Amino acid sequence: MSQAIILDGRPVAAAIRSAVRERVDTLRRRGVQPRCAVVLMENDEPGRLYTQQIARQAADLGIAIDVRIVSAKASTADLVAAVAAAVDDPAVHAILVQRPLPPGLDAARISEEIDPRKDVDGAHPYNQGLLMAGESFCVPATAAAVMELLHQPQVPALDGARAAVVGRSAVVGRPVALLLTAANATVTICHSHTRNLEAVVREAEIVVAAVGRPRFVGSAMVRPGATVIDVGTNWVDGRFVGDVDFDAVAAVAGVMTPVPGGVGPVTTAVLLRSIVDLTERGG
């Protein structure tokens, strides 16, 4: 039987968009329209769907999205050129390169080409370094979305809490761990080499699952009353499934996010907010 409070991301996202709308209106009165260039590979179906969602919500708020599609056969140099064109375009305040890129491409080289002042998803090494120094300028949207959810009133205080982040990718796990550390949680990062993973995660009062494996976090891994944030989006049998076994964990957790409807909508809203942040800073 479910006992957990289900932390719905949709009202959180709506509140973020509403604040963004006011800031876009203020910029419009100054004659400025926030504009984000999205570099997308033509065969990237998840990237296309995410871009479509961003573009639809951006249009509603008055933010312009320029989708720059590159060929499925594009080289690293082609993507670098697409990013460089957006960097040189004075009308563009923000740049997003849809990730993950295919294995043959040099993702690090492509990220380096983004001007850090236009780096809306915190992909440039300079912004990654700032995050490590605890002075974040632009943070990957998914990691920022996790923190938005953890700051909701239903969630017990982060200060001093023990947290386990399952996953150490540069896009999700590591930035979440750094942001949790900055919020004074005591953080353990788990990955595929972690010994006794179940026992380690069970120690935590906050669990962030960013594994990419459907229903990986089960009830035996979750301490009773813990807060569980599910970043996973796995396409299984025609629907999205998280990295957390929702029904089983709902019987043990104190607060948890659903998939879909948890981290996903907040990520899109945070990205739109970051576009406006960069526009206001004159990126």
Residue numbers at the binding site for ligand NAP (CB under 6 A): 142, 166-169, 171-173, 190-194, 197, 210-213, 231-234, 243, 263-264, 267
Token pair recorded at residue 198: 């179940």
Q: Which is nearer to ligand NAP, 87 or 197 (CB)?
A: 197
Count other C-beta atoms under 10 Å from residue 87's C-beta.
Answer: 16
Q: Name every residue whose Cβ is closer than 8 Å to that of residue 171 and which is 6 or more positions away in sequence.
A: 99, 140, 142, 143
Quick one: which of 53, 104, 123, 31 has its CA closest to 268? 53
Q: In this complex, which beta carbon is closest to ligand NAP, that of residue 50 or of residue 137? A: 50
Cβ closer to ligand NAP: 148 or 243?
A: 243
Burial of 24 (0-12, 13-18, 19+ CB in 10 A): buried
Instruction: Name the minimum Å distance from CB 49 to ligand NAP.
Output: 12
Smaller CB distance to ligand NAP: residue 140 or 254? Answer: 140
Q: How near is the Cβ of 39 to ligand NAP at its closest, in Å?
A: 17
Which lies closer to ligand NAP via its Cβ, residue 24 or residue 231? Answer: 231
Minimum CB distance to ligand NAP, residue 23 (Å): 22
Residue 264 Cβ vs ligand NAP, minimum distance, rounded to whole Å: 4
What is the end-to-end Cα distance of the chain in Å, rounded? 50
Could you give the CA distance from residue 2 to residue 162 in angstroms, rounded to a whole number? 23
Provide the minimum distance between the beta carbon of 103 and ligand NAP in the complex, in angstroms, as a whole number: 12
Choice between 141 and 255, CB closer to ligand NAP: 141
Nearer to ligand NAP, 117 or 174 (CB): 174
Backbone angles phi, psi at 66, to 5 degrees: -100, 110
Token pair in block for residue 132? 């490590």
- Output 149 or 252, the one with its CB closest to ligand NAP: 149
Of the candidates 90, 35, 94, which has an alpha carbon nearest to the alpha carbon of residue 62?
35
Shortest distance (Å) from residue 159 CB to ligand NAP: 25
Cα 106 to its chain centre, rounded Å, is: 21
- Other C-beta atoms lying within 10 Å of the C-beta of residue 92: 22
User: Considering the complex, what minimum distance in angstroms separates the CB of residue 173 from ligand NAP?
Assistant: 5
Give the shortest CB-142-to-ligand NAP separation in angstroms: 4
> Which residue stretches of the chain are H helix?
9-29, 45-61, 76-88, 107-113, 125-132, 141-150, 173-182, 197-202, 246-250, 263-280
Q: For residues 97 and 173, give the distance between their C-alpha atoms in angstroms, rounded to a whole number.
A: 19
